[in-house]
Structure 1
Amino acid sequence: MAALTIHDICCSYNGKPVLDGLSLNVERNEIMCLLGASGCGKTTLLKAVAGLLPVTQGEITINDQQVNGGGQATVPEQRNIGMIFQDYALFPHLDVAQNVAFGLQSKESNKALIQRRVKEVLALVNLAGLGDRYPHQLSGGQQQRVAIARALICQPQLMLLDEPFSNIDTQVRMRLIGEIRTLLKEQGISAIFVTHSKEEAFAFSDKLALFREGQIEQVGRPQTLYQHPQTPFVADFLGQSNYVPATVHNRHTLVTPIGPIESQVELDAEPGSEGRLLLRPRQIQLTEHEQGNGRVLEQQFLGAHTRCLVECHGLTLEVSINEPLPAVSRVQVSVTPHALTFFSEQAQRRQAVA
C-alpha cells in the first residue's frame, strides 16, 4: 500500500491552472523530493496534499484513506500529517518544550503523557536538556530541530517539508539533512520534500520528481535522473551538460567529431539517426599528449576538483579533473566507458509536438 497516491489532480490560483492532471505515488517509508524552479507547482502540490489548497479535480489518498475527491475534502488536522516550514514558524514567547507540545495539547489532555512525549522527541532530534530555552537562544539548526520535534510529536504517517534547509548555512545544512533523513527512516515516516536545490534533493531523497510548468518531467531515483535523463531539460537542470553531435552507427556505437564512442548498453535509436550525445564533465577523460585532439582553454581550481574548458574539433567541452593541467596544453580527449545518453532529433521533435 502506498503512503500517498495522487491521481489526476488539478489546482488553480485565481482561475489560472497551476497543476493540470498531475499524478504521483509515494511508497511507504520513502522520501520523495519535488524539485523545480520557482513557480513550477511543487509547493502548490504540497499544499494540496496538506489540505491547505482546494483541488478542483482528481483524488488524493493518504495511507489508503481518500482525503480529496468524490465530493469530499478532509480538513488538514484530520489527515495525520506533519509539516515543517522554511521559516520554522516557532512561537517566540514559548520555550522549546512548549513549542513542541503545542500540537499535541489539542489532542491529548494527559499532561504527564505530553511531557514524556516532549522529552522523547527532543532526544530524537538531539535537543535533550534544551526544553527550557527560547527560540532566540538557539542557532538556526537547533530551531529547525525544534520544528521537526513539533511535527514528530503527533506521530504523523506522512511528513511534508517545504524548503526547510534554505535558511541554514551550508555546513550545518548538509549535516542536518543527514540527521533528518536518518530520523525519518528510523521512525518509518514517509515524506515529501520541496526544494529548488539539486544538491539537497540528491542528498535527502529516495526518489526525485522534477517539475516543469505544473507537470512532472521525470520521476525516479536521483542517480537515474542525473545519469539517464529522458529530456535535455532534465539533463540541464540537474547538472552541467556537454552536447556532442552524433550519428547512430549501430545499436552500441555513435559516430562523433571526437571519434566513435561505444555504449555499454543498447541505444534506443535506429542506425542512421542523428542527434546529440550528452556527456557530463566527469564522463570525459583528458590525457596530456603533444598530438592530442584537444586544447586546454581555461581552468578553475575548485578545491575538490578542477573545472577545465577544452576545445576539441570545434566543440567547447567542460571537463571535471582531479589535478590542474599545464596551461594551454594539448590533450587527448576520450570518453569514460558508460551507458550513453543520446537524444535523437526525431524523438525531440515528437516530444515538442506532444
Structure 2
Amino acid sequence: MSAIRINGLVKRHGGVAAVQGLDLEVEPGELVVLLGPSGCGKTTTLRCLAGLEDATEGEIHIGGALVSRPGYKTPPEKRSIGMVFQSYALWPHMTVAENLAFGLRLRRLPAAEVSERVETALRLVGLSALATRNAGELSGGQQQRVALARAIVLEPEILLFDEPLSNLDAKMRERMRLEIRELQKRLGITTVYVTHDQQEAMVIADRIVLMNAGRVEQMGAPRQLYERPVTQFAADFIGVANALGGVVHSIDGARTTVAVGNAMLECTTQNDCRQGDAVDVIIRPEHVSVIPEHEGTANCLRGQVTDVIFLGSSTDIGIASGIGSLRAQVSPPGVEVPGQEVRLKVNPAAIVLLRREPAVNKA
C-alpha cells in the first residue's frame, strides 16, 4: 500500500488553477522531491497534503485512509504529519527543548515520555548540548536542525519539507542536504520535499516530480531526469543543456542521423523519431569534448572559443560552431582561450532527441 496517494488534485485560486489534475503515489520510506520554478504548484500541493489548504477537486490518501476530497477534510493535526517550514517557525523565547516539547505537551503525554522523546530527537540532529539554549540565540543552521527535530519528535508517518534550506548560506545548504538525506534514510520516514533548487533535488531525492504550470512535466529518478529529459523544459530546468534545432535525416537500426546546422550528428540513444521529423537536439556540456587535431571522425566539428569560465575542477567553455553556439565542460580544466580554434567531439550515446509537435493552425 502506498504511504501517500493523490488522485486528480486540482487547486484553484479564483479563476486560476495552481494545480491541475496531479496524480502521485509515494511508497513507504521514499523521499520524493517536488521540483519546479516559482508558481508551478509544488508548495500548493504540499499544503493540500498537509491539510493547510482545501483541494478544489481530487482525493488525498495517507496510509490508505482518505484525508481529503471536496466536502471532506481531516484536520492537519490528525494527519500524522510533521512539517518543516522555510521560516523555521520556532518560539524564540523558548529553549530548544521547550520548542520540541510544546507539541508533545499539547497531546498530554506523560512528562517522562516527553523528556525521553525530546532527548532522542535532539541526539538525532546533534543538538543535545544546546537543549537549554534559547532558540532565538542559535545560528540559521542550528535553528533548521531544531525545526527538523521538532517535526520528528512527534513520530509522524509523513514528513513534509517546504523549501527548508532557502535561508541558509551555500556551504550550510550543502551540509544540511546530506544531513537530511542521511537522517530520513536512518528513520525510514516517508518524505515529500519541496524545492526550486535542482541541485538540491538531485542530491536528496529517491524520485523527482518536476512540475510546470500546475502539472507534472516529468517524474523519475534524478539520473533519469538528467540523462533522459522528455521535454525541453525538463532539459533546461535540470542542469545545463545545449538545445539545438535539427531534422532527422535517416534511421539505421539503433543509429539516427540528424541534420543540425551545416553538419550531421549521429545519435545512438533510443527515441521515437521518424525520418523527416523536426527535433530539439539536447546535448549536455560534459558530452562535448575538446579533442586534438586529426583525432576522431564521427560527430567531430570545428569551432571557435568565445568565452572561458574557470570553475575549479572544470572549465566551462563557450564555442561557436557549425551546429550553433555550444557550451562544453572540460575536466580537468583545459588551457583554451577566447578566439582559439578547437576541434570538438559530441558523444553520440548522450544525445537526446525531442520530437517537435507540429504547430496547430488556429485559423
The question of a shared fold, defined as TM-score above 0.5 by the shorter chain, is answered with yes
Q: CA deviation at 1:102?
A: 1.1
Q: Which is further off, 325-334 or 118-127?
A: 325-334
Please tell me whether the aligned partners of residues 10 and 17 of structure 1 are also in contact (alpha carbons under 8 angstroms): yes
Q: CA deviation at 1:349?
A: 4.5
The answer to whether residue 272 in structure 2 is matched with residue 263 in structure 1 is: no
The answer to whether residue 306 in structure 2 is matched with residue 297 in structure 1 is: yes
Match of 2:298 in 1: none
Match of 2:221 in 1: 221
Match of 1:94 in 2: 94
Q: CA deviation at 1:15?
A: 4.4
Match of 1:84 in 2: 84
Give per-residue Cα distances to partners, 1:122-152, cap 9 Å, x unaligned. 0000111211001132111111110011000
Q: CA deviation at 1:221?
A: 1.0
Given residue 54 of structure 2, which amino acid in structure 1 is its aligned partner? P
Given residue 349 of structure 2, which amino acid in structure 1 is its aligned partner? H
Match of 1:6 in 2: 6
Given residue 27 of structure 1, which amino acid in structure 2 is its aligned partner? E
Match of 1:278 in 2: 282
Q: CA deviation at 1:112?
A: 0.8
* Residues 157-172 of structure 1 mapped to structure 2, 5 A cutoff: 157-172=157-172
Where do 5+ consecutive residues of structure 2 fail to align?
296-300
* Residues 330-341 of structure 1 mapped to structure 2, 5 A cutoff: 330-341=341-352
Counterpart CA distance in 2 for 1:180 and 1:342 is: 36
Match of 1:152 in 2: 152
Please tell me whether the aligned partners of residues 296 and 311 of structure 1 are also in contact (alpha carbons under 8 angstroms): yes
Counterpart CA distance in 1 for 2:160 and 2:358 is: 35
Counterpart CA distance in 2 for 1:348 and 1:279 is: 22
Match of 1:205 in 2: 205
Name which of 314, 326, 335 aligns with 1:325: 335
Taking a change above 3 Å as real, the CA distance of residues 14 and 310 of structure 1, as seen in their structure-2 partners, is same
Q: CA deviation at 1:155?
A: 0.6
Q: CA deviation at 1:271?
A: 2.4
SS in 2 for 1:118: helix
Counterpart CA distance in 2 for 1:221 and 1:349 is: 31
SS in 2 for 1:293: strand
Q: CA deviation at 1:205?
A: 1.1
The answer to whether residue 314 in structure 2 is matched with residue 310 in structure 1 is: no
Give per-residue Cα distances to partners, 1:159-180, cap 9 Å, x unaligned. 1100100111111111111111
Aligned-pair Cα RMSD in Å = 2.0
Match of 1:235 in 2: 235
Give per-residue Cα distances to partners, 1:29-69, cap 9 Å, x unaligned. 11111111111211111110011111121100011111012
Please tell me whether the aligned partners of residues 246 and 254 of structure 1 are also in contact (alpha carbons under 8 angstroms): no
Percentage identity across paired residues of the two chains: 38
Counterpart CA distance in 1 for 2:82 and 2:120 is: 17
Counterpart CA distance in 1 for 2:359 and 2:228 is: 19
Taking a change above 3 Å as real, the CA distance of residues 311 and 43 of structure 1, as seen in their structure-2 partners, is same
Taking a change above 3 Å as real, the CA distance of residues 294 and 87 of structure 1, as seen in their structure-2 partners, is same
Taking a change above 3 Å as real, the CA distance of residues 298 and 214 of structure 1, as seen in their structure-2 partners, is same
* Residues 59-208 of structure 1 mapped to structure 2, 5 A cutoff: 59-69=59-69, 71-208=71-208
Q: Which is further off, 10-19 or 255-264?
A: 255-264
Q: Which is further off, 264-273 or 109-118?
A: 264-273
Taking a change above 3 Å as real, the CA distance of residues 220 and 299 of structure 1, as seen in their structure-2 partners, is same
Taking a change above 3 Å as real, the CA distance of residues 317 and 213 of structure 1, as seen in their structure-2 partners, is same
Counterpart CA distance in 1 for 2:267 and 2:26 is: 33
* Residues 337-348 of structure 1 mapped to structure 2, 5 A cutoff: 337-345=348-356, 347=357
Q: CA deviation at 1:88?
A: 0.5
Where do 5+ consecutive residues of structure 1 fail to align?
none
Counterpart CA distance in 2 for 1:241 and 1:265 is: 16
Counterpart CA distance in 2 for 1:332 and 1:348 is: 35
Please tell me whether the aligned partners of residues 287 and 350 of structure 2 are also in contact (alpha carbons under 8 angstroms): no
SS in 2 for 1:147: helix
* Residues 243-258 of structure 1 mapped to structure 2, 5 A cutoff: 243-248=243-248, 249-250=250-251, 251-257=254-260
Q: Which is further off, 257-266 or 157-166?
A: 257-266
Please tell me whether the aligned partners of residues 6 and 25 of structure 1 are also in contact (alpha carbons under 8 angstroms): yes
Q: CA deviation at 1:225?
A: 1.1
Taking a change above 3 Å as real, the CA distance of residues 106 and 261 of structure 1, as seen in their structure-2 partners, is same
Taking a change above 3 Å as real, the CA distance of residues 337 and 314 of structure 1, as seen in their structure-2 partners, is closer
Q: Which is further off, 96-105 or 62-71?
A: 62-71
Counterpart CA distance in 2 for 1:118 and 1:36 is: 35
Counterpart CA distance in 2 for 1:162 and 1:79 is: 17
